């Protein structure tokens, strides 16, 4: 019982310090900082790259939103990688104004493989681009996206994540759950860290990478979450990522629990793969660079271990109760503390983040009330993936035919 009590106290301290750190960092999102100075004044040349697999329903709206960018037309090209497509994606994209490259490789279908295949070609051509912006086929892009990313390049930033908004937040409680989660991450994770001088992370789509960074090795990723992987590679090397709140891209989210389960399972497996592949590099980065940015980047991987430690703490509390070292009231109090954090605080957080982001609350009421279920199901997904990970890539169907004018007026 004495060892169990010591273990309980150690777990309480570890979990408390971890979450206290996250909360303190999150408050830095409320700080209003001066904009960075321009190091140069230049209009850079971009390639907008879209890996797409059977996306005929949504590809036109994306390409048209890119064609409509308020940026010199001669300074950017739109490339659609028709990746193992069996539908009209290539034809529709070309008709809408994109340059289309067809790729067929059944063994390597993922977005990371498609990007590496494309970038290798541009490196071999010695293409005269300054940066690459990556989008998903279901996106639609704000007209000022490239202009604002150009500003980031002029400020000396090399890898920058744009603001990933949602184009269908009220389609279902699942889509609403995603929207609240992303709005929360944008402010309390990415913006908070950017304000504090730490590093945000790439977020799947709507990001920019300076072409010179890609030239030595291309896009070499091996996990199911190539965005997080590329972020961690850069952080381990001491490179801080940027955040562009005014470079906006709208993304379609799943509307069914089944599709959401599949997608979030892939994210969890990718997270576990990154833990396996990059924990050592990130710890080495902390040792080599000795910055809080590197420490914070390494700490990102600790989300799932903290979940495991929390379950371990609840188990230890139960054993202490069974050993008559804790009253039933104390046991219930300990359980309630973590149940409230998991199922009640998310509702308050959801309302708070929507107020901060100036999002209408009324259309999202069902999503707010169901948000604890959305986040609670993620715990189940994490447990399932720890026991039986599925490393097979599964496509998420995109069906919302929404153009940029419709989103802008909502």
| Confidence (pLDDT) at 129 | 97
Residues of the chain above pLDDT 90, percent: 75
| Confidence (pLDDT) at 31 | 84
pLDDT digits (tens, 9 = 90+) for 40-71: 999 999 999 999 999 999 999 999 999 999 99
Interval 373-401 mean pLDDT:
84
In a 13 Å sphere around the CA of 344, the CA atoms on its Cβ side amount to 6
Strand partners, 166: 251
| Confidence (pLDDT) at 300 | 94
User: In the CATH scheme, what is the code of domain 1-410?
Assistant: 3.90.550.10
| Measured distance CA(104)–CA(407) in Å, rounded | 33
| Measured distance CA(184)–CA(374) in Å, rounded | 14
Query: For the whole model, what pTM was predicted?
Result: 0.91
Strand partners, 102: 82
Q: What is the mean pLDDT of the chain?
A: 91
Structure token digits, residue 71: 């940026």
Interval 264-292 mean pLDDT:
93
| Measured distance CA(379)–CA(402) in Å, rounded | 32
pLDDT digits (tens, 9 = 90+) for 84-133: 999 999 999 999 999 999 999 887 878 888 999 999 999 999 999 999 99
pLDDT digits (tens, 9 = 90+) for 206-234: 999 999 999 998 998 999 999 999 999 99
| Confidence (pLDDT) at 408 | 58
| Confidence (pLDDT) at 323 | 84
DSSP category for residue 98: -
| Measured distance CA(157)–CA(36) in Å, rounded | 10
CA–CA distance from 342 to each of 371, 377, 398 (Å)? 10, 11, 30
pLDDT digits (tens, 9 = 90+) for 120-170: 999 999 999 999 999 999 999 999 999 999 999 999 999 999 999 999 999
């Amino acid at each position: 019982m004495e060892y169990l009590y010591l273990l309980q106290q150690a777990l309480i301290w570890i979990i408390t310090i971890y979450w206290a750190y996250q909360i303190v960092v999150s408050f830095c999102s409320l700080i209003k900082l001066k904009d960075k100075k321009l190091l140069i004044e230049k209009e850079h040349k971009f390639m907008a790259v879209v890996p797409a697999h059977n996306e005929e329903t949504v590809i036109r709206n994306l390409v048209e939103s890119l064609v409509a960018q308020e940026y010199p037309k001669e300074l950017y090209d739109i490339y659609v990688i028709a990746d193992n497509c069996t539908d009209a994606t290539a034809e529709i994209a070309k008709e809408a104004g994109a340059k289309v490259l067809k790729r067929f490789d059944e063994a390597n279908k993922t977005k990371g493989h498609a990007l590496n295949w494309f970038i290798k070609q541009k490196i071999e051509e010695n293409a005269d681009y300054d940066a690459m912006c990556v989008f998903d086929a279901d996106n639609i892009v704000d007209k000022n996206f490239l202009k604002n990313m150009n500003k980031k390049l002029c400020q000396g930033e090399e890898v920058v994540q744009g603001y990933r908004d949602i184009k269908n937040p009220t389609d279902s409680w699942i889509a609403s759950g995603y929207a609240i989660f992303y709005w929360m991450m944008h402010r309390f994770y990415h913006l908070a860290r950017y304000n504090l001088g730490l590093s945000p992370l790439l977020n799947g789509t709507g990001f920019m990478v300076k072409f010179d960074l890609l030239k030595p090795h291309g896009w070499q990723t091996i996990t199911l979450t190539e965005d997080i992987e590329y972020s961690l590679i850069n952080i381990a090397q001491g490179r801080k990522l940027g955040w562009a709140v005014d470079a906006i891209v709208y993304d379609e989210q799943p509307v069914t629990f089944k599709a959401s389960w599949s997608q979030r399972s892939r994210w969890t497996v990718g997270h576990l793969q990154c833990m396996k592949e990059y924990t050592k590099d990130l710890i080495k980065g902390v040792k080599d660079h000795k910055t809080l940015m590197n420490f914070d980047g390494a700490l990102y991987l600790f989300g799932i271990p903290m979940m495991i430690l929390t379950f371990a703490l609840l188990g230890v509390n139960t054993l202490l109760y069974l050993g008559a070292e804790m009253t039933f009231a104390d046991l219930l109090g300990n359980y309630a503390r973590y149940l409230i954090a998991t199922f009640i605080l998310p509702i308050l957080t959801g309302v708070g983040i929507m107020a901060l982001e100036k999002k209408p609350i009324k259309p999202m009421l069902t999503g707010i009330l169901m948000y604890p279920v959305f986040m609670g199901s993620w715990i189940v997904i994490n447990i399932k993936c720890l026991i039986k990970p599925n490393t097979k890539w599964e496509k998420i169907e995109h069906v919302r035919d929404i153009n940029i004018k419709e989103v802008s007026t909502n």
